[in-house]
Amino acid sequence: MISENDVIRLIKQILEGVYYLHQNNIVHLDLKPQNILLSSIYPLGDIKIVDFGMSRKLGNACELREIMGTPEYLAPEILNYDPITTATDMWNIGI
């Protein structure tokens, strides 16, 4: 069984990984359980964020508007065809 401290550590690693992407103006756009892996189950390893096939680099020149991602995990701004921001990835972490 995974302890509460282990869950805290894993969530922190996910947030740190996404923060690193966002600091480099990259949005993943397909964060979901299938794209968040563990390096090992026992002992409990570290988080690896994978599948950057839909990721995009945000730029200052124009707004990014695309309908893409796994339907069950789409953020409201994607469904509404609003500009994509780093908040789009945060929606996926929350669900």
Two tokens at 25? 């103006």
Set out the domains of the chain in order of their start, with CATH numbers: 4-94 (1.10.510.10)
Q: What is the DSSP letter of 87?
A: H
Of residues 51, 57, 44, 56, the one with CA closest to residue 13: 44
**Annotated catalytic residue 30:** yes
Give 18-57 pLDDT, tens digit per residue. Answer: 999 999 999 999 999 999 999 999 999 999 999 999 999 9
The single residue of 6, 30, 46, 51 carrying the catalytic annotation is 30
C-beta of residue 38 within 8 angstroms of C-beta of residue 46: yes
pTM of the model: 0.90
Three-state secondary structure of 16-73:
HHHHHHHHCCEECCCCCHHHEEECCCCCCCCEEECCCCCCEECCCCCCCCCCCCCHHH
